[in-house]
């Protein structure tokens, strides 16, 4: 995670697990979901609208592990916009996103704050922040680097970055090895070690054992949406 981004961290407990996690990230086999609040109303393009089925075909996690949206053909916005990476080379960068909630806020661009869900297929430097600011023309609340000349950006400079990594799904580093899969299959479904309260499950095709972690976004997200800052009205004497 970037320093100002909150959310989940993956930590390897053994050297083999670390090596496997590095491989999974390198091969883009870790599926991530972020939640963010946008300063304004992000631009949506009808020609860039895709369905959940199309997003799934792209290799993006759009509904697993009991997600309330699983099986629904939700509409997403596709951003396919190359970005310069840390090595100064321009590389493909793909993000899908959708708006979840809009609230009125007189201190925000367009008079609204927008809660969005973002799912990157690639993992370029500041990909989500740059895609929203440069392609959708509206930056994340609290983003000091990519707010540009957007109106009212100064109202949120001291709020911190409203970006949270709140879901991650990846193949289990051990249970997908030959030995590990034999151990998984040998465990009874009633064994609490097998599913770890829902964090470990089989993929839909039962070919992979997947780890899924999910957390609530920080309370300050909902607090900002429930009580957005407002421009103080000037009082005049009658």
Least confident of 59-68, 72-81, 111-120, 182-191: 59-68
pLDDT of residue 226: 93
In terms of pLDDT, which residue wins out, 177 or 150?
A: 177
Task: Give residue-wise pLDDT tens across range 184-223.
Answer: 999 888 888 788 878 898 887 889 999 999 999 999 999 9
* Alpha-carbon gap, residue 121 to 33, rounded angstroms: 10
At residue 63 the predicted structure's pLDDT band, cuts being 50, 70 and 90, is low
* Alpha-carbon gap, residue 225 to 238, rounded angstroms: 34
Tokens of 130: 């740059």
pLDDT of residue 178: 93
Tokens of 170: 């990846």
* Alpha-carbon gap, residue 143 to 162, rounded angstroms: 8
pLDDT of residue 69: 52
pLDDT of residue 231: 66
Say what the alpha-carbon torsion angle 2, 105, 116, 76 is, to the nearest 10 degrees.
-140
Beta pairing partners, 212? 169
In terms of pLDDT, which residue wins out, 80 or 230?
A: 80
pTM equals: 0.87
pLDDT of residue 181: 93
Task: Give residue-wise pLDDT tens across range 88-119.
Answer: 899 999 999 999 999 999 889 899 999 999 99
Q: Is the pLDDT of residue 140 over 60?
A: yes
Tokens of 95: 């993000």
Place of tokens 């321009």: 90
pLDDT of residue 129: 95
CA angle 224, 225, 226 (to 5 degrees): 95
Task: Give residue-wise pLDDT tens across range 23-60.
Answer: 998 888 899 999 999 999 999 999 999 988 888 888 88
Tokens of 32: 């991530």
Q: Is the pLDDT of residue 68 over 90?
A: no
The span from the first CA to the last CA of the chain, in angstroms, equals: 54
Q: Supply the residues annotated as catalytic.
A: 2
**Contact 135/150 with Cβ under 8 angstroms?**
no
Task: Give residue-wise pLDDT tens across range 8-24.
Answer: 998 888 998 899 999 99
* Alpha-carbon gap, residue 195 to 184, rounded angstroms: 10
From residue 203, alpha-carbon distances to 49, 105, 188, 209, 226 in Å are 27, 42, 18, 6, 37
CA-nearest of 163, 155, 167 to 127 is 163
pLDDT of residue 236: 45
């Amino acid at each position: 995670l970037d320093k100002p981004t909150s959310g989940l961290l993956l930590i390897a407990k053994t050297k083999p697990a670390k090596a496997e996690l590095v491989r999974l990230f390198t091969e883009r086999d870790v599926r991530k979901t972020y939640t963010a609040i946008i300063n304004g109303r992000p631009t949506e393009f009808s020609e860039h609208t895709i369905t959940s089925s199309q997003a799934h075909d792209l290799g993006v996690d759009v509904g697993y592990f009991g997600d309330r949206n699983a099986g629904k053909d939700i509409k997403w916005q596709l951003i396919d916009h190359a970005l310069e990476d840390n090595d100064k080379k321009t590389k493909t960068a793909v993000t899908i996103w959708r708006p979840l909630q809009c609230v009125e806020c007189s201190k925000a661009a367009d008079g609204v704050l927008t809660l969005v869900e973002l799912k990157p297929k690639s993992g370029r430097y500041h990909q989500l922040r740059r895609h929203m600011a440069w392609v959708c023309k509206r930056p994340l609340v609290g983003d000091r680097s990519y707010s540009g000349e957007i109106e009212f950006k100064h109202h949120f400079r001291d709020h911190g970055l409203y970006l949270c990594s709140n879901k991650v799904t990846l193949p289990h580093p051990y249970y997908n090895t030959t030995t590990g899969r034999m151990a998984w299959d040998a465990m009874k479904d009633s064994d609490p070690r097998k599913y770890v309260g829902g964090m470990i499950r089989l993929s839909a095709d039962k070919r992979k054992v997947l780890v899924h972690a999910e957390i609530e976004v920080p309370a300050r997200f909902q607090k900002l949406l429930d009580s957005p800052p407002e421009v103080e009205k000037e009082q005049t004497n009658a």
